[in-house]
Amino acid sequence: MNKLPHVAIVGATGAVGREMLVCLSERNFPLSKLTLLASARSAGKKLTFRDEELTIEELTADSFNGIDIALFSAGGGISEKFGPLAAEAGCIVIDNSSAFRMDPGVPLVVPEINPEAAANHPRNIIANPNCSTIITLMGLAPLHKAFGLTGIIASTYQAVSGSGAQGIAELESQIKALASGAPIEKKVYPHQIAHNVIPHVDAFQETGYTKEEQKMLHEGRKILNLPDLKVTCTCVRVPVMRSHSISLTAIFEKDPSVAEARATFSDRAGVKLVDDPASDLYPVPLDTTGQDDCLVGRIRKDQVLPNALALWVVGDQVKKGAALNAVQIAELL
């Protein structure tokens, strides 16, 4: 783009929308104007951006006239309805929902991994990957470049904020109820989440896998341009407020040593090695919350599969897993 863009955030009052606002400010994103869009019930409210109060406007079909880039974070239904309208108005849509991720005409982008994909957006839509996929691939991309990734066995440990504000509220209310002896209320999750883990994120499919688990397969193949990549995944909701963790076994064409694997993360943008178990140094969710970088540690040789490493990756799913990744895509434009 040859001029400072007029940017909009769709879903500005949600957790990811608010984080997009923070990322634009923190990164001093160059823009001529910022428009905040949300539902009718949020219209008229105000949010602060760079010491200026901005009034939220109601999202309508005519909201995108004159807007150059729209960051969408309002759910798949909103994206499906308003994304094409924005694109037709000449706006480039960066969508955080799953609505367009597997559309062959829509690039799926993690800027540190496949930035070139953002240059070709024939439908004026660019998709942001699933949060767990982004965090996982931030840890695997340096290893793939060096050793050739062929397969992934993953277990995710996903924070309740991945379910939105209601997930956080449910965990908090259940912790208080347990402390006071009050009845436990379950609205968001089918089982008590406080003091518990639930191996169920998103809807179950006929295969027995959930939609969330299949995203790792399909999105990983598209982002890495590896159509034959083998992936099996189990997604687990854990009683953590924010930041997702992923336990990985990664299989490669070459046989990497642990030292060689660790070396791939030196001077790598967006990911840091924290791997000194003897000093109790390894990634934990609290260390990534509110941070841009994903952390990688516990790298070791797998004891079952040849040419395989076991490792642990942690990242803030609201920030790098959603808002920051979208803003970085806008920076590429």
pTM of the model: 0.95
All structural domains of the chain: 6-128+323-332 (3.40.50.720), 133-317 (3.30.360.10)
DSSP 135-179: HHHHHHHHHHHHH-EEEEEEEEEE-GGGG-HHHHHHHHHHHHHHH
Half-sphere exposure of 86 (CA within 13 A, CB side): 29
Asked whether residue 1 carries a pLDDT value surpassing 60, the answer given is no
* Residue 53, beta-bridge partner list: 48
pLDDT of residue 258: 98
Going from the C-alpha of 292 to that of each of 21, 113, 281, the distances in angstroms are 14, 15, 19
Q: Using the 8-state DSSP alphabet, how is residue 74 labeled?
A: S
Distance separating alpha carbons of residues 43 and 240, to the nearest angstrom: 32
Residue 84 is encoded by which pair of tokens?
Answer: 């094409």
Q: pLDDT exceeding 90 applies to what percent of the chain?
A: 97
- Average pLDDT over every residue of 204-227: 97
Distance separating alpha carbons of residues 225 and 116, to the nearest angstrom: 12
Residue 2: pLDDT band (50, 70, 90) is: low
H or E element at residue 34: strand 33-38
Asked whether residue 280 carries a pLDDT value surpassing 60, the answer given is yes
pLDDT of residue 54: 95
Q: Are 302 and 309 in contact (CB under 8 A)?
A: yes
Tell me: the pLDDT tens digits for 290-329? 999 999 999 999 999 999 999 999 999 999 999 999 999 9
Kindly tell me the burial class for residue 259, based on how many C-beta atoms sit within 10 Å of its own C-beta (0-12, 13-18, 19 or more).
exposed
H or E element at residue 55: strand 52-55
**Pairing outcome for strands 33-38 and 57-58:** parallel
Residue 89 is encoded by which pair of tokens?
Answer: 């108005």
Going from the C-alpha of 207 to that of each of 152, 191, 251, the distances in angstroms are 18, 22, 23
Q: Which residues are catalytic?
A: 131, 244
- Average pLDDT over every residue of 133-144: 98
Going from the C-alpha of 147 to that of each of 141, 259, 302, 305, the distances in angstroms are 10, 13, 15, 15
